[in-house]
Amino acid sequence: MDRKRKENVRNSFWRNTVQKFMKHRVAMFSLVFLTVEILAVVLLPLLMDLDPYTTNVGCFSMAPDDRFLLGTDDVGRDVFSRLVYGGRVSILVGFVSALLSAVIGIPLGLLAGYYGGIIRMTIMRLVDIFMSFPAMIIQLVLVTVLGASATSVMLVIGLLGWTGFARLTYSKVISVKEQEYVEAARASGATNFRQMFQYILPNSLAPLFVQFSFSVASAILQESGLSFLGLGVPVPTASWGNMIYSAQSLSTLVYRPWMWVPAGMILVATVLSINFIGDGLRDALDPKMKI
């Protein structure tokens, strides 16, 4: 009995996956980085006296010094504080909108791929219609209607981003559907629901993890774009996007790098590590990959 339990534990799917993920050095490093980052943006404001909003009169565009770790921006706000608070917004927007896209897109793609016929026609045409509109313009209109706020930015990006998930899921599902094990499941009496969620979806997930990581990254960037146009997270709330876009002025770009370089670097690092985690998860979830 004891041996059986041991075997059971050792071979359980999740344990296996976790073990494999941990062997994936880059992904593991990225995960640590992302965790530290998330902890930092959540906890630092509680631990330190950070103030991203006050304009320190007389301290406009100051280079980093003892008082301002990363200097101040052109209206005299502490860049470090803004970086931390901006991280809260950017990461939240990134994950929530990607999740929203996935939750809408994956089931629709699955339905379209599995059933085909009229269902496929309807869903895939809808995808085409969504994709043929310039996303930015719709986002602008929607944000204008909803009013600029972090919530509406998440909604807008998430609602428009599902097409990628739907397409990818669809294309993967139509190939997995033809596999013999799906037919075997049907021959065993599995319901459509079971075939979809126990046989087809798990075997279609790998590229979706990668798509999800891209989605998070792209949502963070889109939020930056919207912020830049004044329709993202409204000022004075900070986000990495609106910090980077301060580099629009040539003098800031060239002479005051502290205002945008930290935000840019942290943004790149975050996007990269999310992508690496996606890769690592994809490999770890493949039972054929050896540890």
Partner 1 sequence: MNDSNALLAVQNVKKYFKGTKGCYVKAVDDVSFSVTKGETLGLVGESGCGKSTLGRTVLNLVNATEGGVIYEGRDILKLPQREMRMLRKKLQMVFQNPYSSLNPRMTVLEAVRAPLDIFGIGTKEERFERSRDILRYVGLDEYQMYRYPHEFSGGQRQRIVIARAIISEPDFVVCDEPVSALDVSVRAQVLNLMQDIQKERGVAYLFISHDLSVVKHISDRIAVMYLGKIVEISPKEALYDRPGHPYTQALLSAIPIPDTDIVRERIILKGDLPSPMDPPAGCRFHTRCRFATEECRMKEPEMRFDESGHGVACHRWKE
Question: Which residues are near partner 1 by CB under 8 A?
Answer: 3-4, 7-8, 10-13, 179-181, 183-191, 194, 198-199, 202-203, 285, 287-288
Minimum distance, C-beta of residue 195 to partner 1, in the bound complex (Å): 10
Shortest gap between Cβ of 30 and partner 1 (angstroms)?
24
* Closer by beta carbon to partner 1, 10 or else 67: 10
* Least distance in angstroms from the C-beta of 3 to partner 1: 8
Q: How far is the CB of 208 from partner 1 (least distance, A)?
A: 14
What's the rounded Cα separation, in Å, for the pair 134 and 98? Answer: 19
Closer of 19 and 179 to partner 1 (Cβ):
179
Nearer to partner 1 among residue 3 and residue 134 (C-beta):
3
Helix (H, G, I), strand (E, B) or coil at 64: coil
Amino acid letter, 279: D
Nearer to partner 1, 28 or 190 (CB): 190
Number of helical H runs and strand E runs in the chain: 13, 0
Q: Is the peptide bond before 236 cis (omega within 30 degrees of 0)?
A: yes
In three-state secondary structure terms, 223 is: helix
Nearer to partner 1, 58 or 117 (CB): 117
Least distance CB 174 / partner 1 (angstroms) = 16
CB nearer to partner 1: pick between 7 and 51 = 7
Q: Report the residue number, 204 or 224, with the smaller CB distance to partner 1.
A: 204
Q: How far is CA 9 from CA 3, 18, 285, 290, in A?
A: 10, 13, 17, 18
Enter the tokens of residue 87.
């991280």
Give the end-to-end CA distance of the chain in Å, rounded to a whole number. 27
Sign of CA dihedral 114, 117, 121, 123: negative
Q: Residue type at 169? A: T
Exposure class string for 185-223: b at 16+ Cβ within 10 A, else e:
beeeeeeeeebbeebbbebbbbebbebbbbbbbbbbbbb
Q: Whole-number minimum distance, CB 177 to partner 1, in Å?
A: 13
Measured from the CB atom, the residue of 3 and 254 that comes closer to partner 1 is 3
Q: For Cα atoms 134, 136, 140, give the angle at the middle one, nearest 5 degrees.
A: 125
Q: How far is the CB of 102 from partner 1 (least distance, A)?
A: 19
* CA–CA dist 98, 124 (Å, integer): 20
Shortest Å distance, C-beta 150 to partner 1: 37
